[in-house]
Amino acid sequence: MTEPNLNRRGVLAVATTALAGSAAAVPALAGTPHPDAGLLALEQPIEAIAARLRAATKVMNAAEVVVEARRPPRPEALAPFPGPDALANLEEQRRRFTAWLVEGRRLMVDCGYDEAEERVSDLETELDRALWPVREVAATTLEGLRFKARMARHDPTLAEVIVRDLLSLDATAAV
């Protein structure tokens, strides 16, 4: 029977690995896959979608600034006009307001706001779909919980998921 290697370097190596806080280090040494490998593999694709979403949002915001700069002022309401011409007064208000709305819609299309808004909406949907497994698959290690904490910047509801996972995490597996 062989004696365990209890020299200073052996003990120091084990202690350093345990104290480093890297949940991925111990399974990597043993040659086994990380228990949260599936979750951790999602980080890069999610961050790529989030980066595209940030860029699309900047484009949409810039288009909105252009639309607002070019949009004519909202028509003032006409003073109430009693008497037989009251209906004509209301019709004039409706005509002015409708023309203002139509011009605003035209500007939104011409300045690319509508297209940019649709792109942002599509990317928000794509990000939500990419985050679905993060919400649904339980993290089993501290590294998995850290990953979920990083993803919470894209979905604040992940805070509740992290608490759920933390409460169900086996204390001995969290090292």
Q: Dump pLDDT digits (tens) for 65-115.
A: 999 999 998 888 767 777 778 888 888 889 999 999 999 999 999 999 999
Residue 105 is assigned to a structural domain of this protein: yes
8 Å CB contact between 23 and 175: yes
Q: What is the pLDDT of the chain when averaged over all its residues?
A: 82
Q: Are residues 71 and 155 in the same domain?
A: yes
8 Å CB contact between 17 and 25: yes
Mean predicted confidence (pLDDT) in 120-133:
96
Q: Is the pLDDT of residue 5 over 60?
A: no
Binning pLDDT at 50, 70 and 90, where does residue 42 land?
very high
Q: Are residues 22 and 101 in the same domain?
A: no
The structural domain count of the chain equals 2
Residue 37 pLDDT: 92
Q: Are residues 50 and 108 in the same domain?
A: yes
Number of helical (H) and strand (E) elements in the chain, helices listed first: 8, 0
Q: Are residues 9 and 71 in the same domain?
A: no
Residue 42 is assigned to a structural domain of this protein: yes
Q: Are residues 5 and 59 in the same domain?
A: no
The span from the CA of 112 to the CA of 75, in Å, is 24
Binning pLDDT at 50, 70 and 90, where does residue 172 land?
low
Q: Are residues 158 and 76 in the same domain?
A: yes
Residue 77 pLDDT: 75
Residue 4 pLDDT: 44
Binning pLDDT at 50, 70 and 90, where does residue 58 land?
very high
Residue 88 pLDDT: 84
Q: Are residues 64 and 12 in the same domain?
A: no
Residue 173 is assigned to a structural domain of this protein: no
Residue 14 is assigned to a structural domain of this protein: yes
Residue 171 pLDDT: 60
> Would you tell me how many other CB atoms lie within 10 Å of the CB of residue 111?
20
Structural domain span for residue 67: 33-168
Residue 96 is assigned to a structural domain of this protein: yes
For residues 125-138, one letter each, b for 16 or more C-beta atoms within 10 angstroms of the residue's C-beta and e for the rest, the string is: ebbeebbeebeebe
